[in-house]
Chains A and B, each alone.
Chain A
Amino acid sequence: MDRVRVLVVDDEADFLKLIKRRLEKRNVEVSVAPGGREALDHLAGQPTDVVILDVRMPGMSGIDTLKEIRKRYRETEVIMLTGHGSVQSGIEGISHGAYDYMLKPFNIDDLLERIRAACERARLKKAERERA
């Protein structure tokens, strides 16, 4: 399988740095964005398989960003990141078409497994579109 291209969106700079380092060690191509708007700008220029999206961010919320991604990039899958205080948003995310969700704090291998499954779905969607 080709290298997985992931975009991590979170307003915590330290978290972005850490997750980028840990996922890259596992052969994942990682880009980061500090907010929803920046994420959409990135997606406009860079093909991405999976977006890991924090639901609680200042400015454009995770849910609004998810809605925009679903509208514009149907083949990109989204995994929502939720904390204790934002589980309701996680539930909302699932009903708005997020592929999966992760509760913080999470295990990196568990996240990697979900990224792979989401990536496989993105590939199947693409194949489906090409067949149609």
Chain B
Amino acid sequence: MTLCNVRRLLRIGQYVCPGLVLLLAWLAWRRPLVHIGIIFAMTAAAAAIAIWLVLHLAVRRVQSACDEQSELGNQLIQSQKILALGEISTGIAHEINNPLNIIMQEAELVRADLEMDVNPEALHEIKESLEVIIRQVERCSDITHKLLDFARKRVPISQPANLNRLMEDMLDLLERGGGPGNVEIVKAFDPLLPMVKTDPPLLRQVFLNLLINAVQAMEESGGFLYVTTYVDHAQVCVEVRDTGPGIPQENLERVFNPFFTTKEPGKGTGLGLSVSVRIVSQLGGDMAVRSEKGSGAAFTVCIPITA
């Protein structure tokens, strides 16, 4: 029982208890023993006042405890928001500052080259520097694009979809792109998987992201990519599991946070999974991760059949 419920009970009690005592006094008054009735009525009135006072004080105490509890809750939410905002700001600063730094160095090199006699060798260097600058600007633009994508409010358009087919298409795209390399794909699709009403392009984006992450996790070591579909509690679920190095326990809760990444600089902005989890939530589904260090990671996307 919460403190607020206790407060409600006491509030009812503060009217009911004195009321009962006064009722007893009234009954005694109606009997022939009038004097005893008067004494009893006075005692009852005094008791009622005392009970009311005690209850009133108790209610005040409980109310103050409830207010304190609610205030603490608000403060906790606020501090979590500030923490998340701090992590996002640090992420943006880090992601943008790296390419900006390279752009600055290259631009300075170009200026130095131009200040000297421009011979063919210097011209070649200038051209190389300009190419690096263009690449880094594209990198910045990619980050801002992903940020906008993360913040964008999507309105899902529901269409009947077969998740086996959606996943098969994404695996096909990955395989024909030469993506998996030394990774072997093992499919275990439920052939009786029911259709779901969902937003196919949004879900393709989520599946592709999970597949690319899994392949990247096994890029050096190689391994197996298990893709499984099944029905669980009126939901259609898709699991993407790799046999890569896994995610340490301390990072498991943060993998869905924006800008959280363990990839090398320039290889990932840390927005892919946070965008994916937002999409799945907007589709009325759930996304979960389980992993143990050294034994791979498994991401599961579940979409309600009735959605």
State the A residues within 8 Å of B (CB).
Answer: 82, 84, 87-88, 90-91, 94-95, 97-101, 103, 117, 120-121, 124-125, 128
Contacts and interface: CB of A to CB of B under 8 A. Distances in A.
A87 B149 CA distance: 22
**Interface residues on chain B, size class:** 20 to 34
Nearest to B212: A91
B201 A98 contact: yes
B49 to A, nearest CB: 61
Contacts of B173: 82, 87, 90-91, 94, 101, 103
A95 B150 CA distance: 12
Contact of A87 (B155, B158, B177, B209): B177
Given A84-B176, A90-B173, A103-B176, A124 B204 contact: no
20 contacts: A84-B177, A87-B178, A90-B173, A90-B177, A91-B173, A94-B201, A95-B149, A95-B205, A95-B208, A95-B209, A99-B200, A99-B201, A100-B169, A101-B169, A103-B173, A103-B176, A121-B159, A121-B200, A121-B201, A124-B157
Majority secondary structure of chain A interface residues (helix, strand, loop or mixed): helix
Nearest to B166: A100
Interface string B147-158: 001000001011
A121 B176 contact: no
A60 to B, nearest CB: 16
B177 A100 contact: no
Given A121-B157, A125-B157, A128-B155, A94 B176 contact: no
Interface in B31-80: none
Interface of B: 149, 155, 157-159, 169, 172-174, 176-179, 200-201, 204-205, 208-209, 212
A52 to B, nearest CB: 15
Given A100-B200, A103-B172, A120-B159, A94 B177 contact: no
B177 A88 contact: yes
If over half of B's interface residues share one DSSP class (helix, strand or loop), that class is named, otherwise mixed; here it is helix
A88 B212 CA distance: 11
A112 to B, nearest CB: 16
Contacts of A87: 173, 176-179
Contacts of B205: 94-95
B123 to A, nearest CB: 26
Contacts of A88: 177
A101 B208 CA distance: 12
B225 to A, nearest CB: 16
B185 to A, nearest CB: 15
B157 A100 contact: no
Given A95-B149, A101-B173, A121-B200, 17 more contacts: A84-B176, A87-B177, A87-B178, A88-B177, A90-B177, A91-B212, A94-B201, A94-B208, A95-B208, A98-B201, A101-B169, A103-B172, A103-B173, A103-B176, A117-B159, A128-B155, A128-B157
Contacts of A94: 173, 201, 204-205, 208
A128 B155 CA distance: 9
Contacts of B157: 121, 124-125, 128
A109 to B, nearest CB: 15
Nearest to B178: A87
B177 A91 contact: yes
A82 B175 CA distance: 13
Closest 10 pairs (CB-CB, A-B): A87-B177, A124-B157, A99-B201, A94-B204, A121-B157, A95-B205, A87-B176, A94-B205, A94-B208, A125-B157
